[in-house]
Amino acid sequence: APTVGVLALQGAVSEHSDIMTSLGARTVLVRRADQIDGLAGIIIPGGESTAMARIAAPLGLFPVLRERVIAGLPVLGTCAGLILLADRVTDAGALNGFDRLATLDITAQRNAYGNQLASFEAPVTMPEHDHATIDAAFIRAPVISEVGPAARVIAEHGNTPVAVQQDHQIAATFHPEITGDTTLHQMLYRLISGA
Ligand code: GLN
């Protein structure tokens, strides 16, 4: 079985690991750069991007991960994970000055939902999947304020893009693992197995 890493510095780690195991992958909790070598794919979970960036910095994790993703390592990033993947981040706050991956051609605006809407669940639609809806949990989520030409929208909430794909990179502003939806994990698994 392919080995999928779940970045385990902070945040929603075990749910992603459980889902990938249920799909047939082996999973590894990644906390060091030398663990990245044998991976067939990686998940960057939701949580707090500033905390992850601060913990990753002395470990030199993100420069290594960035090179591997540029070289083709399939990746799924959710919420804070999307922020770490985004090439451009606005309202970056304490993220400024820290390494990110910056491999995905989008602009992410951190904490872009107001206080009232900071956390909510809502169905999102997937235009490439016959407009199927999946249940999504948004938790102090970012907004994808711009989608560059290299990326395309794969899920929307109303008219707002909430998930994008760029070749072997998938990223969502929401937490699919909380509502138990495995659509994005299945997409990652297909990218890994080349199906
Ligand atoms: N607000 C968080 C951040 O800026 C993201 C929230 C999440 O991942 N659920 O990193």
Spell out which residues line ligand 1, taking CB within 6 angstroms: 46-49, 79-80, 83, 110-111, 139-140
Q: Does residue 60 sit in helix, strand or coil?
A: coil
List the one residue out of 100, 76, 83 whose CA is nearest residue 25. Answer: 76
Which phi and psi (to 5°) does residue 188 adopt? -60, -45
DSSP 99: -
Domain 3-193 belongs to what topology?
Rossmann fold (3.40.50)
- What is the Cα–Cα distance from 128 to 58, expressed in whole angstroms? 40
Residue type present at position 168:
H
Kindly give the number of the ligand 1 atom that is closest to the alpha carbon of 78.
8
- What is the Cα–Cα distance from 57 to 70, expressed in whole angstroms? 19
Quote the pTM value: 0.97
Instruction: Using the mean position of ligand 1's atoms as its centre, give its distance from the Cα of residue 38 in Å.
Output: 28
List the one residue out of 1, 6, 2, 3 whose CA is nearest residue 177. Answer: 6
Which phi and psi (to 5°) does residue 52 adopt? -60, -45
The per-residue pLDDT string of the chain (195 residues; one tens digit each, 9 = 90 and over) reads: 999 999 999 999 999 999 999 999 999 999 999 999 999 999 999 999 999 999 999 999 999 999 999 999 999 999 999 999 999 999 999 999 999 999 999 999 999 998 878 999 999 999 998 889 999 999 999 999 999 999 999 999 999 999 999 999 999 999 999 999 999 999 999 999 886
49 is in an annotated binding site: yes
ipTM: 0.96
Cα 173–Cα 154–Cα 92 angle in degrees, nearest 5? 30
157 given a catalytic annotation: no
79 given a catalytic annotation: yes
Q: Does residue 177 sit in helix, strand or coil?
A: helix
156 is in an annotated binding site: no
